């Protein structure tokens, strides 16, 4: 048992045995009490209680704690920790899905495809320079609506020296504004390296240098994104090693070309791995050999990659991954393992598991509620529909959810949205760039002028998601 695990265990033991008795809260440090089936690290607590104060989880108890003046939300929902998404290109989530004209052998092929440049790459670059804050708001709401509370991969417009301040707020941007290391932008310990080819290394030169100097807690690198038999993809793992970038603070993304020995080396280097099955199947017709990764005991997280060819958000990627695991890998990964690969595992990889990634006293109150079968929370998660998410909180602040839930938690100024036919609301005070209706209208107009439709907030049931 690590010291952290012990600390969490002791905290949990304490609150479980000795019910919280806390004096009346003042308005400034209001306590939220949320009731539901709590998915804690070591057990599931039916009809349990979460007390939240000052952005943190104060206690988790089976019995209702005695806290005078607390704002209370009682539900029949499941309470999960928020997802930690370590691989995404979130700004592309304003675009509809990209129907690739063919199956590719590697990422360099489709990145050179004219159809990709015309429909996504070029308009994306233009939109980032004119509508960055609207894009950032829209795509972070999409992530939050799917339970993601921490994300990586927003990048700044080319003509600004750093990412604009509007990136702070909504989800935690782990590479720009997590809120863990002070307010504002630019204090973070996570970075991105686009890839190991010279052109990608050049674009990521600052982060490559900082990573080599040990200046990051974690760097995510695209490696061997393509088919297993593709020579360009196969060579990239050795390239990563030769560059001196394979170490305990590296997480390898995709790894389609990795073979058993590569995963063994990855494990020996104490590096980690991120699996993004949907984008892999849509672009390459296959995905990484996760059975080899599991045999080699590689630490493996799950992430959606991006929405044009991957999942809209982590919730949808879990459903897809479960199907791939069942049908292509003989049930290799359970729904519970996939839940962990989306929460505590990436939190550990990013060295933020003392802050987020699980529900335990003392950790940040980053969580979401799911209206589903409380008797089988992990299966419910893997089978969830977008409209099943009833509340998402970041740092103890309700951001998105059912109107009645937000109202119960004291949020009255909201923008209404429709999630697959179900009414949901967004807390306007959490929006960094004005109301959500205006954000949507401006983005929709800018895209329409380019003959592109603004992507919806999620893929709904009528949009059939083909799973291999
Ligand atoms: Zn990627």
**138-157, pLDDT tens digit by residue?**
999 999 999 999 999 998 87
CA of 90 to the centre of ligand 1 (A): 10
pLDDT band at 179 (very low <50, low <70, confident <90, very high): very high
pLDDT band at 426 (very low <50, low <70, confident <90, very high): very high
CA of 222 to the centre of ligand 1 (A): 6
pLDDT band at 5 (very low <50, low <70, confident <90, very high): very low
CA of 10 to the centre of ligand 1 (A): 39
pLDDT at 26 (0 to 100): 52
Out of 10-14, 283-287, 417-421, least confident range: 10-14
- pLDDT tens profile 35-74: 999 999 999 999 999 999 999 999 999 999 999 999 999 9
Give me the CATH topology for the region 84-349: TIM Barrel (3.20.20)
pLDDT band at 369 (very low <50, low <70, confident <90, very high): very high
Average pLDDT over residues 277-297: 97
- pLDDT tens profile 114-137: 999 999 999 999 999 999 999 999
pLDDT at 411 (0 to 100): 97
Tokens read off for 442: 């401006």
Q: Which residue has the higher pLDDT, 19 or 375?
A: 375
Give me the CATH topology for the region 3-82+356-405: Urease, subunit C; domain 1 (2.30.40)
Q: What is the DSSP letter of 23?
A: P
CA of 254 to the centre of ligand 1 (A): 8
CA of 278 to the centre of ligand 1 (A): 12
CA of 193 to the centre of ligand 1 (A): 10
3-state secondary structure 398-446: EEEECHHHHHHCCCCCEEEEEECCEEEEEEHHHCECECHHHHHHHHHHH
Neighbouring residues of the ion ligand 1, judged by CB less than 5 Å = 305
CA of 58 to the centre of ligand 1 (A): 36
- pLDDT tens profile 306-332: 999 999 999 999 999 999 999 999 999
Residue carrying the six token digits 């360009």: 232
Average pLDDT over residues 346-367: 98
pLDDT at 463 (0 to 100): 64
Residue 22 has pLDDT above 70, yes or no: no
The H or E element that residue 394 is part of is: strand 389-394
Residue 8 has pLDDT above 90, yes or no: no
CA of 318 to the centre of ligand 1 (A): 17
CA of 4 to the centre of ligand 1 (A): 31
pLDDT at 201 (0 to 100): 94
pLDDT at 6 (0 to 100): 39
Residue 217 has pLDDT above 90, yes or no: yes
Residue (of 172, 169, 126, 118) closest to 149 by Cα position: 172
Residue (of 408, 401, 404) closest to 427 by Cα position: 401
Q: What pTM did the predictor assign? A: 0.93
What are the start and end residues of each CATH 2.30.40.10 domain in the chain?
A: 3-82+356-405
Out of 135-144, 184-193, 249-258, 456-465, least confident range: 456-465
Residue 462 has pLDDT above 70, yes or no: no
CA of 367 to the centre of ligand 1 (A): 25
Residue 23 has pLDDT above 70, yes or no: no
Residue carrying the six token digits 């280097």: 269
Q: Which residue has the higher pLDDT, 25 or 455?
A: 455
Residue 75 has pLDDT above 70, yes or no: yes
pLDDT at 2 (0 to 100): 42
Out of 19-23, 282-286, 363-367, 463-467, least confident range: 19-23
CA of 64 to the centre of ligand 1 (A): 44
pLDDT at 464 (0 to 100): 64
pLDDT at 17 (0 to 100): 36
Q: What percent of the chain has pLDDT over 90?
A: 86
CA distance 430 to 50: 22
CA of 407 to the centre of ligand 1 (A): 37
pLDDT band at 373 (very low <50, low <70, confident <90, very high): very high
pLDDT at 4 (0 to 100): 41
**Paired sense of beta strands 250-254 and 218-223, if any:** parallel
- Write down the mean pLDDT value for the chain: 92
Residue 28 has pLDDT above 60, yes or no: no
Question: DSSP per residue over 40-104, as a string?
Answer: -SS-EEEEEEEEEETTEEEEEESSPPEETT-EEEEEEEEEEEPEEE-SB-GGGGGSPPP--SS--
CA 303 to the chain's CA centroid: 7
């Amino acid at each position: 048992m690590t010291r952290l695990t012990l600390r969490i265990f002791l905290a949990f033991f304490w609150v479980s045995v000795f019910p919280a008795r806390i004096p009346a809260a003042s308005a400034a440090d209001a306590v939220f009490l949320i009731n539901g089936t709590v998915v804690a690290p070591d057990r599931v607590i039916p009809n349990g209680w979460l007390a939240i104060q000052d952005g943190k989880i104060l206690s988790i108890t089976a019995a209702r704690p005695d806290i005078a003046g607390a704002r209370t939300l009682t539900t029949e929902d499941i309470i999960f920790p928020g997802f930690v998404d370590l691989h995404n290109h979130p700004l592309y989530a304003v675009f509809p899905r990209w129907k690739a004209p063919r199956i590719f052998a590697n990422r360099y092929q489709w990145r050179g495809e004219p159809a990709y440049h015309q429909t996504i790459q070029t308009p994306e670059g233009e939109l980032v320079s004119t509508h960055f804050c609207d894009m950032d708001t829209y795509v972070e709401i999409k992530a939050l609506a799917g339970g993601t509370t921490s994300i990586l991969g927003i990048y700044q417009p080319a003509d600004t020296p750093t990412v604009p301040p509007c990136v702070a707020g909504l989800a935690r941007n782990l590479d720009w504004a997590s809120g863990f290391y002070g307010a504002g932008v630019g204090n973070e310990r996570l970075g991105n390296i686009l890839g190991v080819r010279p052109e990608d290394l050049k674009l990521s030169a600052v982060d490559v240098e900082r990573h080599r100097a040990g200046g990051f807690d974690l760097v995510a690198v695209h490696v061997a994104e393509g088919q297993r038999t593709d020579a360009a993809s196969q060579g990239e793992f050795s390239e990563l090693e030769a560059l001196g970038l394979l170490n305990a603070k590296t997480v390898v993304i995709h790894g389609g070309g990795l073979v058993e020995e590569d995963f063994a080396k990855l494990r020996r280097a104490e590096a980690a791995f991120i699996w993004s099955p949907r984008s892999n199947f849509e672009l390459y017709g296959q995905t990484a050999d996760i059975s080899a990764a599991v045999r080699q005991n590689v630490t493996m997280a799950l992430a959606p990659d991006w929405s044009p060819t991957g999942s809209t958000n982590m919730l949808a990627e879990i459903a897809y991954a479960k199907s791939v695991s069942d049908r292509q890998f003989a049930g290799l990964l359970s729904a519970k393992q996939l839940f962990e690969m989306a929460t505590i595992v990436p939190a550990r990889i990013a060295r933020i598991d003392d802050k987020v990634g699980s529900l335990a006293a003392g950790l940040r109150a980053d969580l979401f509620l799911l209206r589903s079968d409380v008797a089988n929370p992990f299966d419910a998660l893997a089978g969830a529909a977008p409209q099943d998410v009833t509340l998402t909180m970041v740092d103890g602040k309700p951001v998105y959810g059912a109107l009645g839930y937000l109202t119960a938690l004291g949020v009255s100024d909201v923008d209404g949205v429709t999630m697959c036919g179900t009414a949901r609301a967004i807390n306007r005070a959490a929006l960094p760039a004005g109301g959500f209706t205006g954000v949507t209208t401006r983005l929709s107009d800018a895209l329409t002028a380019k003959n592109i439709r603004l992507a919806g907030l999620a893929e709904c049931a009528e949009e059939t998601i083909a799973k291999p």
